[in-house]
Chains A and B, each alone.
Chain A
Amino acid sequence: MNDLDDLYQEMILGHARQPRNFGALAPCDRSAKGHNPLCGDRVTVYLRMDGERVREIQFDGAGCAICTASASLMTDGVKGLARPAIERVFQDVHELATGKSDGSKDLGKLAVFSGVSAFPMRVKCATLPWHTLLAALDSTSAPVTTE
């Protein structure tokens, strides 16, 4: 059961139970909806911008522990960043979650998602909030899906 403990670390369970930055942001400058049809995860990301930088970010929706914790930690981690920096963090998280990271980067709390790499079917749960955030930055109106 060791890889289960790696996946469901206390920080993930804590953020899943009590997500930070949860709830709609109204009014907001940009938003996007994301959906993972495989498991029914739904997440909406709301942004208030300061020029091209994220000033405030919140999310709501219903998802599994991995998705909810990922959204919670993501919203904590990207405030003040503009799109290029956000893309770099997402790339690092993605490499970590898919087991491609060499461990050289300091991801802070986001390092908790390394446990996902033993569960390929769950990678999309962790990345859905990030894809949704990027869509919100682009202000696409079509829902994002992981399929």
Chain B
Amino acid sequence: MSTRRLIPGSAELRAEFPILAREVHKRPLIYLDNAATSQKPAPVIAKLVECYERWNANVHRGVHKLSEEATEHYEGARAKIARHIGASDPAEIVFTRGATEAINLVAQTFGRTRLAAGDEVLITALEHHSNIVPWQMICRERGAVLKVVPITDAGDLVAGAFESLLTPRTRLAAFTWVSNALGTVNPVVEMTALARARGITTLVDACQAVPHFALNVRSLDADFLVFSGHKVYGPNGSGVLHGKRALLESLPPWQGGGDMIASVTFEESTWNHVPHKFEAGTPDYPATVALATALDWLSALGWDAVAAHEHTLLAAAEEALGAIQGVRLIGTPAHRSGVLSFTLDGVHPHDLGTVLDRMGVAIRAGHHCAQPVMDRLGVPATARASFSVFNTLEDVAALAAAVRETKRLFGA
């Protein structure tokens, strides 16, 4: 990794991303689908390779040197990731395949033991399917009720609705920090405080927050926090569940298998300590080690610089797209981060996505795994541009030019 501080949007920083050197349909790649998955900087890719070339072994198992080293790197990554999110205890970090698996883990352990018939789980209308469906499944199984905080036309949570939906039967409130479809930044600190004051457990989906600003689980004070590594410049298949230690210890294990046990006989097994109790089977340890590298790489840019750059890009995109007749921005939340959803009159987002792709501009077109958000705002789908530290104002200009070209092609 460069010892000089890289500047977001600079040629030097862009050079860290090997994929940006490739062309798409004979045009330079303009990647504006970062909210779906981020591209990976060279140090992250190098770390994956290094794990396989130098320390490949099963963690926590061998007495041999390689296993010892692999375990050191794996547990070192846990400590590093704990520091990055402000957790005081690495044992509070459970590694998962991603946020989806982390939420399912909580649903299947907390949900299965703490939800009774008539109890309530509160989510919001901004959630990704991964923070809806696991709760639907466990609520159905337990006879519990899923309640939803509504949103305004602008894409903000209706003021006061979260608090008024917290009832004596609410056992868990699960909500996203940043909406993946609209970019809405929720007042999560206030929300966790409101829940905590009523003794209600909280889960925060931080997938779209972690790539964009520093977070601290102690000041947030959620009981659970989840994020995916692949959305924060890390590898696919890496993810994090942060849970308060006493809470994690009070939960039953989820999946059974190797590593999660203390002892096994055919009559009975006993469980390993947290976090290993929740990590059955051989983990993707290289992905986890490289996730720690990704967080090192990102935070070394300086969070103020990251925020300032991404704010500049979002503001420029809002202005450039807003200036095109027929473009409608979907969602105008009070606080926005990372993504801009829009439609073009007379052109379905899927067609828009295809034309943009042919011009080298990669965006997401569809419902963004948030069908209820689309239904609420009365659109079948949107086009979504999402930004990262390597994007530039030239990328924004190329996006706007491609949208104008689509308009011309469709006579819209």
Query: What residues make up the interface of A, taking CB atoms closer than 8 Å to B?
Result: 1, 3-4, 7-8, 13, 17, 37-42, 62-66, 68, 119, 121-122, 125
Contact = CB atoms under 8 A, between A and B. Distances in A.
Interface of B: 346-351, 354-355, 358, 365-367, 371, 374, 380-381, 409-411
B366 A39 contact: yes
B381 A39 contact: yes
Given A39-B348, A40-B350, 6 more contacts: A3-B358, A39-B381, A40-B366, A40-B374, A62-B380, A66-B350
Nearest to A122: B354
A4 B358 contact: yes
A17 B411 CA distance: 10
**Chain A CB within 10 A, most for which of B349, B367, B380, B411:** B380
B342 to A, nearest CB: 15
B380 A125 contact: no
Contact of A65 (B348, B374, B380, B381): B348
B382 to A, nearest CB: 9
A4 B357 CA distance: 10
Contacts of B349: 39-40, 64
B348 A63 contact: yes
5 contacts: A8-B355, A40-B367, A40-B380, A64-B349, A125-B350
A34 B269 CA distance: 48
B411 A64 contact: no
B410 A39 contact: no
A65 B353 CA distance: 12
Contact of B354 (A7, A17, A37): A7
A13 B380 contact: no
A112 B409 CA distance: 17
A40 B379 CA distance: 10
B366 to A, nearest CB: 5
B374 A1 contact: no
B365 A39 contact: yes
B206 to A, nearest CB: 26
Given A1-B358, A4-B409, A8-B410, A40 B381 contact: yes
State the 7 A-B residue pairs at the shortest beta-carbon distance, nearest first: A64-B348, A40-B381, A64-B350, A39-B350, A40-B380, A62-B380, A65-B351
B185 to A, nearest CB: 25
B355 A13 contact: no
B409 A8 contact: yes
Contacts of B355: 4, 8
Nearest to B365: A39
Given A39-B381, A40-B381, A122-B354, A13 B410 contact: yes
Nearest to B359: A1
B351 A8 contact: yes
Contacts of A122: 350, 354
B358 A66 contact: no
Nearest to B371: A40
B376 to A, nearest CB: 14
Nearest to B411: A13
A92 B380 CA distance: 30
Contacts of B350: 39-41, 64, 66, 122, 125
Contacts of A38: 366
A63 B380 CA distance: 8
Nearest to A121: B354
